[in-house]
Amino acid sequence: MTLVFALLAAFIAAVIQRITGLGFVLVLVGPIVLLYGPLEGITIGVLLALIASLAAIPLVWRQVEWKRAWWLIWPGLIAAPFGAMLVNALPEAALLLLIAAMAYFALVAGWIPFLAASLQGKTGAVVAGSAAGFMHVASGLSGPPLAAYAVGNKWEQRNFAASVQVIFAVFSVVSVLLRGLPTSPVGDVWSLIGATVIGIIIGTLLTRFVSPRIARLGMLSIAWVGATVVLARGILALVF
């Protein structure tokens, strides 16, 4: 039953990722952490995020802005090991609370006006890229600083959504190298990878019929519930 719920979560997250360009781990983090725990859950999440990005890149290749993407990638590569160090140092309850906090930040970051305004130019790229690399290894949730940078620099949405797939792919590779592969049964992991790829394919077909706005509303609803449940589990683990 755990695998069935995980497959459904990976499929839905991939569909939303393809339609909106963002939100894969944000949708997946709640269910996957609750099903597999904070350490194994995020390890699975970043592996599936890599698959989702690799599946999406060929579809958006021509819109990628490589120079802009690189200015966000290299600071993240430097910051990524610190995210791994933090994860390895925290007990389970603290890790659950950290993941919940990052999920909430991902949900409210767009409502913080000064955040986008402060992330402009190459300095803003270094700050946003560093934060994204750190957050990706720690929780898989690297989207908020990247999105804030895009808003602050008036990055055209179509090109940003394409470029961020490359950034996610690079950060996910680094995350897998730093965190290691999932310890769950190989058959289960391959099934989750398959569900992710199928979700990307179905999401591509649905882009003609489902507006990004509707998909985004679905993403936010799932993410708020997931973050709240992870927070509650973290509090319970801390108390008991």
What confidence tens digit (pLDDT) does each residue in 128-156 have?
Answer: 899 999 989 988 888 888 888 888 888 88
What's the pLDDT at 65?
93
Flag the least confident range among 30-44, 152-166, 206-220. 206-220
The runs of H, that is alpha helices, within 140-156 are 143-152
Is pLDDT of 39 > 80? yes
Q: How does pLDDT run across 225-236, given as a tens digit for each residue?
A: 888 888 888 888
Is pLDDT of 180 > 80? yes
More confident residue, 108 or 170: 170
What's the pLDDT at 116?
65
Mean pLDDT of 159-186: 92
- CA–CA separation, 127 vs 135, rounded Å? 12
Buried b (16+ CB within 10 A) or exposed e, 100-134: bbbbbbbbebeeeeebbeebbeeebbbbbbbbbbb
What's the pLDDT at 193?
96
Is pLDDT of 10 > 70? yes
Is pLDDT of 177 > 90? yes
Question: To the nearest 10°, the Cα dihedral for 199, 58, 190, 85?
Answer: -100
Q: Quick one: pLDDT band at residue 69, thresholds 50, 70, 90?
A: very high
More confident residue, 185 or 107: 185
- CA–CA separation, 127 vs 142, rounded Å? 12
Q: Quick one: pLDDT band at residue 26, thresholds 50, 70, 90?
A: confident
Number of structural domains found in the chain:
1
What's the pLDDT at 110?
66
In the block, tokens 């990628």 appear at 64
Look at the pTM and tell me if it is higher than 0.85.
yes
Q: Where in the sequence is the domain holding 85, given as residue range(s)?
A: 2-239
What's the pLDDT at 149?
85
Q: Quick one: pLDDT band at residue 207, thresholds 50, 70, 90?
A: confident
Mean pLDDT of 42-58: 92
Mean pLDDT of 14-28: 84
Chain centroid to CA 122: 23
